[in-house]
Structure 1
């Protein structure tokens, strides 16, 4: 469409005609014409605000940017190869965060896809960010959907980010300088942006609701613990104190209310929206299977709930709390490595010695740390800090807390740090190898002096806790390269425990059975065909126990009547198997051994593996050497 045709179409809309474009585009065009008095024939250059104004906008959005940063970077990694640019705009439409290919900076800045660009409708006409601010909805403004002719080469997809009180806080946008003609080409972009926004809102709610019960919801139990669709926070009296946008929508729908009026939702008791009281909702912790955490929303909608206890529980909140069985048998069943771990845990758990857990990602380091805490006899809490997940700019305030007014955007009452919340209990530092050196310095001082100094404070506070740290990275090597402080390393590694990767564990069969039990539900116990069991035994499990858990969860959702066959397993497991997946007889190791007259070497040759590997698999499957 050339410029004159584009202007004519906008004029037709001004005359009240429907040109067939999406309703959201037509409504935006009318706002540009009637409310903002914009001239479609007058080209409007992209606006980049001054450095002073940009600093002001970024300071006001500081907390949200910090919380959102890891999610933004993850989204950009997904779309960068398709030449997308990522913009995070504040509620005024000013871009306060930008991710894009530096080699295109000149073109991006000229197009307004740059840090400090202003994309409000009064300034830029119809655009994704501006229309998103006006409507509060996720949308795509594709090429000639734009009001201004200077923006018609662009394709922009945006979704709103709401704060915990239901107010629009920001807009996340990914844009292309050029794209395919069809608008439907951006459907996946819209899905990715909306999913990222959902995760940012959840992280924001969790960060601001540390003293309230948090309820997370999903429409399917399989995704409840891994990718919830909505969440809300509840105080000790059962009143709603915060919510994500997804929660605002389903709460409003349950009572026929308007989600755009959050005051009608906040402060209300949960019984007004659910066919359940606070006690029942609070009981839906991970101690029960996701399928058992079924709740009914007023109006009949079925959801599944996950209750997360306050990080500092108030006595008025009657939370259900399951006490795990304090026994080393939860570590594993057999094998020299596991037995050695059990012996160490039994002896060291009651002491307060610092323990360093080493092992590949997904081997169960946090699970082991919790077992050590349960056996320690400590009365305090088990507080987890994922050192790799906290943005570097936030790590000091998260660990050590801050006083009121310590920095721009700080909460009026300040915040207690996670280290202080572990007082009397266990502080678990997961992925300690990813902690920045500056934070390592502060942590070393805390461990050495037993005191914590909040950001902006001058008076240290005494703390007493047991520290357990974990990393998949070799900390000793990092000390040699200068990436990890040597003095901190020696304060953390008084006792070192190494978790073996799943491919080397002789109790694989035991772990497999525990995983099947975990994903079973009453009346539907999971079981495996011989072929499926052998396929799982042959896999290398680069993701370790976490990958096994995901595979069984996937198969449980797909199988009929709880019986898992090879066809129900994730495809990558089947294709990666070292043994061809043909039928039950070919995959039955016992049959193969019998056909080889018990000759393990011959069976290994037929499988294309070495004899030692076959012996290990036989132990994992509980198959003794044939006589």
Structure 2
């Protein structure tokens, strides 16, 4: 089944009205225009609908509860547009039923005119029909927002719809579209995972986005890397015309990544650029999904062009290495995160704020996370609209929290640089969370290079937002304030080298003496450069000459640790040769000496290459 190009809502509505008037000959002012089936005809349709959507799905109960709270009615129809389930407050239901919105009512365009259900089913996409857009005059008081439901094969099984008294408020339409869209996505994912439970599943998502409810698409692949099926919008990420176009094609050809290589990548995540877009591709090959216990068959094909391996999130223990103060901050952050308490992680650039966020979300298994870099926001219409959308998405995520298998997290990076309009938007988001009880709303974290309290005192940050956001503050110590840099440096060097690295006492003394204005980021760069200049398994003071220039490596030099002050010329030359794998020319370049000078000093000190 193919998707026709979407003509746009206005053109689609116009075409529908034209069909109603010219093709179906419908009279707009008909008193009772909605055809209604008998209950005996509705019951089997309801049973079939339950079976095709995966059983008595708890998501529909949640939608019914939200509809009751908002004064709307939840309408569930089958693929023919027959209303098989109607939920809402009794008063609202009475009003709707008087207008023909009742169990058994048929919303096929040929008899019900232009309406939300028929438009969503025909367009195969979310669609809002406002009061004025309904063809029949009787339906003018209502707005209807409907979303189609797809099965694992992308066949339409029905639609879910919010009908409400039309207040002309676009926020109502947006909320309904986001809420119903998220629910429909979860229904299809459930059906898809059941249908392809013995196949390799690959998750494909846009590489970057600011959409909290952005749904990652699933693609089922066999052991030869051929696509067996995909969820409703996977083809859009591939630049294909329709879901059916993906089936039978090579996953590597379509998405730019060879499936067998995914299981060899740490955390099985690849970031690739394909067709001008950035995609995040994740293999899902748990043991229960393998056929007869076999992993996907490897192929001799090359890995995807320019793949970027995603670094694994560090553990909280690793972040705390060498510092009891850092360990206390990590434990505090973990406690706040688990309790769902909004908090701010403060610290100078490079102290590990982003690493701590990654460790917390990885530890909690949070697969749904949105990151907003506040420093990139501008006071422009697009960014203002974005924050309004974020409020609605936060409400939706909280409303559907019971159907989520992992927590939803929103991270506001560089919140101290957030412009005024965005501060007002974030305050609105947090007030929604603060006023909502008994619901697992998204977890909120923020990072800041400066103290928000100081920014408030300077008039740069709203005090009411600070009270809502900074329920707790986690202040990360600078690297120079951490007690044992030795443990951290050894662990980081080993991680960079992929094996244990020896760091000499003289080199450790140089590392302890350095002020580290760039914190962990600077330490990482220094160690990486040292490993590149040396043999990759040993770091001596010679590889750290940029931190401790040769002039300071002389006996009696002030403000230099004793172990470094006693670092004589012979030791320096031996370390340079060892780091260069006894390549005299390379050692000479490292020390800034001539090759002949190195040979002369080797002879002078009795230095010879080990056997």
TM-score by length of 1: 0.49
TM-score by length of 2: 0.50
